[in-house]
Amino acid sequence: MGSILNLQNIGGAAAMSTREIAELTGSSHDNVMKTVRRLIAEGVVSGNETPYHHPQNGQTYTEFRLSFRDTMVVVSGYSAELRARIIDRWQQLEAAAQPAPSLPKSFAEALRLAADQQDVITAQAEQLAAAAPAVEFVERYADSTGTKGFRQVAKLLQANENLFREFLIDEKIMYRLGGELTPHAQHIDAGRFCVKAGTAQVSGHAYNAARFTPKGITWVAGEWAKWQLKRREQGGGHA
């Protein structure tokens, strides 16, 4: 990569620019920006356009600077090879951003430093583990043209149905209506669900069945991973 950028910061936290995402994945910056704007409009990621000056032509353009989580959401539909480039680059940049450690003054201090380092490694591993179901799911089902029911999606995500139901309700994705899970209107409008009307063959009872669209399945996989990580951080145990 001839012009790889240095890691930027968002309020002191690490961030990657959309220009670097475009360069690492071989995409045009315009296409990456369009993806980010769409995801921001859908409430999936957050970010503000930031001006930057092109070093070659001196012109001023805009870019987004994204956190690790938002970067992974943006590239979730990319191939495994391209996502691996992004993850590898994040690790390189974060390692380079770390200040050179001072030598420990005692054996006890060396042990404390080793323990702190292990805590950081463990936290990063948990983040990647939480995102793994979403990444695997996107690879397998993002190109699907069919809709899926609640139990199908829970099974595909290898999620406990009770916890998955709790997640959907807690995050105001779905709510109970007449004993059935029903998506909130904004998620239907966003194309994440479709609601199909039908009639039970035996009883003749009319019903409405909520189904996840392929777009909704991809989106909810990322939200499910984020919710699991939040539960672990709050001491809620492993989902």
Q: Per residue in 224-237, pLDDT tens?
A: 888 888 888 776 55
The Cα–Cα gap between 64 and 72 comes to 14
Question: For residue 5, what pLDDT is reported?
Answer: 43
Contacts of residue 92, defined as CB under 8 A and 6 or more positions apart, other chains included, come to none
Q: What is the mean pLDDT of residues 205-220?
A: 80
* Vertex 38: Cα angle to 33 and 39 (nearest 5): 100
Model-wide pTM > 0.85: no
Q: In terms of residues, how long is the chain?
A: 239
Q: Per residue in 119-130, pLDDT tens?
A: 666 666 666 555
Long-range Cβ pairs for the range 187-195 (8 Å, 24+): 187/216, 190/42, 191/215, 191/216, 192/216, 192/219, 192/220, 194/147
Q: Per residue in 159-190, pLDDT tens?
A: 899 999 999 999 999 998 877 889 999 998 88
For the chain, report the end-to-end CA distance as a whole number of angstroms. 39
Question: For residue 98, what pLDDT is reported?
Answer: 62
For the chain, domain boundaries: 1-98, 99-239
Q: What is the mean pLDDT of residues 43-63?
A: 83
CA atoms within 13 A on the CB side of 146: 6
